[in-house]
């Protein structure tokens, strides 16, 4: 068994394709959040069957996205326990045919983020601690090329901060950022913010 890679890892095209399945991506994210965790742990936390999680865990193992870190006693035979192979993962730069695979993975990840946000927002209604940990910003703005460059650099600075300040004892949170041209309103003026 090998150590977790603490440096940022750029996903290979095969790894991106592996995570293109929304269900597999959700299972991968849960292994990352619970680590270390068994297939049974992940299945229980997601409300999915052990068989389904086991199937996807085999694919994650095959693509070096999770690794076995121990065997623990459980019933008739020992149970494998896994953790994410890489602490921080990044999408590959587009090119070499990666565009479609990256797009599929990002769309699936955003769908997963929306589902997880919905669960957290429902929980926040009764749990002030959850409510204090939530923050949503959505903005539709017009930026000059120079302002856009500065804005994207600020997002990269936040991503660097998160990579450098992870704590195994800290609270598990999700941060998603998607910046793209608003193609449906090229003619609209002004800005909106939600």
pLDDT confidence of residue 74: 83
| Residue 41 clears pLDDT 80, i.e. is over it | yes
pLDDT confidence of residue 1: 45
* Spatial contact of 77 and 92, defined as CB atoms under 8 Å apart: no
Give the predicted TM-score (pTM) of the model. 0.72
CA separation for the pair 19, 56 (Å, rounded): 10
pLDDT confidence of residue 163: 76
The residue assigned the tokens 């002004």 is 190
Mean pLDDT of the chain: 85
Could you report how far apart the first and last alpha carbons of the chain are, in Å? 47
- The Cβ of residue 58 has, within 10 Å, a number of other Cβ atoms equal to 12
Distance of CA 11 to the CA centre of its chain: 12
* Spatial contact of 68 and 81, defined as CB atoms under 8 Å apart: yes
Name the residue ranges covered by the structural domains of the chain. Answer: 1-134, 135-194
Cβ-based burial of 147 (10 A; exposed 0-12, middle 13-18, buried ≥19): exposed
Task: Give the tens place of pLDDT for each residue, 65-103.
Answer: 999 999 998 888 899 999 999 877 888 876 667 888 888
List the structure tokens of 115.
């589902």
Fold assignment, 1-134: Arc Repressor Mutant, subunit A (1.10.10)
* Spatial contact of 81 and 32, defined as CB atoms under 8 Å apart: no
Q: By mean pLDDT, which of 17-21, 138-142, 151-155, 167-171 is the weakest?
A: 167-171
């Amino acid at each position: 068994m090998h150590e977790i890679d603490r440096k940022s890892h750029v996903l290979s095209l095969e790894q991106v394709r592996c995570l293109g399945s929304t269900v597999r991506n959700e299972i991968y994210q849960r292994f990352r959040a619970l680590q270390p965790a068994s297939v049974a742990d992940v299945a229980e936390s997601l409300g999915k069957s052990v068989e389904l999680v086991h199937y996807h865990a085999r694919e994650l193992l095959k693509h070096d996205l999770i690794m076995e870190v121990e065997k623990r006693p459980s019933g008739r035979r020992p149970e494998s326990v896994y953790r994410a192979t890489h602490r921080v993962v990044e999408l590959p730069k587009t090119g070499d045919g990666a565009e479609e695979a990256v797009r599929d993975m990002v769309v699936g990840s955003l769908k997963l983020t929306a589902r997880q946000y919905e669960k957290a927002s429902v929980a926040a209604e009764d749990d002030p601690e959850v409510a204090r940990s939530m923050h949503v910003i959505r903005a539709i703005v017009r930026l000059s090329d120079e302002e856009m460059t500065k804005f994207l650099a600020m997002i990269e600075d936040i991503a660097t901060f998160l990579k450098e300040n992870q704590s195994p004892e800290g609270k598990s949170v999700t941060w998603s950022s998607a910046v793209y041209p608003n193609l449906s309103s090229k003619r609209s003026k002004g800005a909106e913010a939600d």
